Amino acid sequence: MIELKHVSRNFNDKTAVDDLNFKLFPGETLGIIGQNGAGKSTTFRMIMGFIAPSKGHILVDNKLIDEKVRRNFGFMPEERGLYQNETIINQMIYFGELHGMSHFDLRINLRKWMKKLAIVGNFNDKIKDLSKGNAQKVQLIAVLMFEPKLIILDEPFSGLDPVNAELLNNAILELKRKGSMIVFSSHSMDNVEKVS
């Protein structure tokens, strides 16, 4: 379980997040809707430990989050961060090594996820040569293929056509059934309703 208790974040005299409270249990999703500047990304960055709350606490299983616990988190920021000159496989090997995954298991999982998300291309394609939608799905695979305990997706549906949005919905629902906790932001109530 992850819990945010009276979490606030201020930047000088501006309040980005004000007294946020929620609990999320394994197998649950939470969709956060809000306009730009509403504090969605700030909330995600606090959960990931990139910035600290000005007030309040973020707990996992009633304990403050440490680096060991954070290794079980998967985060896809709104600003996509793949290395454009790398191949899909080299990109995934990099992330796989960070998670202690063997190259053999990584290749099996990558093949499975590329098929599941209908990525057009192969392991040796460079990120810069992929369509925007396929590059976004590769970024998503970098988060999902390790089946983290907590998955945080910042605007994952942004720029996806309806077919790819449905593939993403299905992937999220599958991980939810397997017990992952999923927090995501969206501008669309429809996306939130489909995944919740």
- Identify any residues that bridge with 24 across adjacent strands, giving them in sequence order: 2
CATH code at position 187: 3.40.50.300
Question: Do residues 10 and 52 make contact, with C-beta atoms less than 8 angstroms apart?
Answer: no
| Dihedral angle computed from the Cα positions of residues 145, 4, 33 and 158, in that order, rounded to the nearest 10 degrees | -30
pLDDT tens for 6-29 read 999 999 999 999 999 999 999 999
- Rounded percentage of the chain residues whose pLDDT exceeds 70: 100
pLDDT value at residue 14: 95
Helix (H, G, I), strand (E, B) or coil at 190: helix
Q: Which domain holds residue 83?
A: 2-195
pLDDT value at residue 159: 80
| Total structural domains within the chain | 1
pLDDT tens for 73-128 read 999 988 877 899 999 999 999 988 888 889 999 999 999 999 999 998 889 999 99
129: pLDDT strictly greater than 80: yes
Cβ atoms within 10 Å of 122's Cβ, excluding its own: 11
Distances (CA, A) of 39 to 11, 36, 136, 156, 163: 11, 8, 23, 16, 29
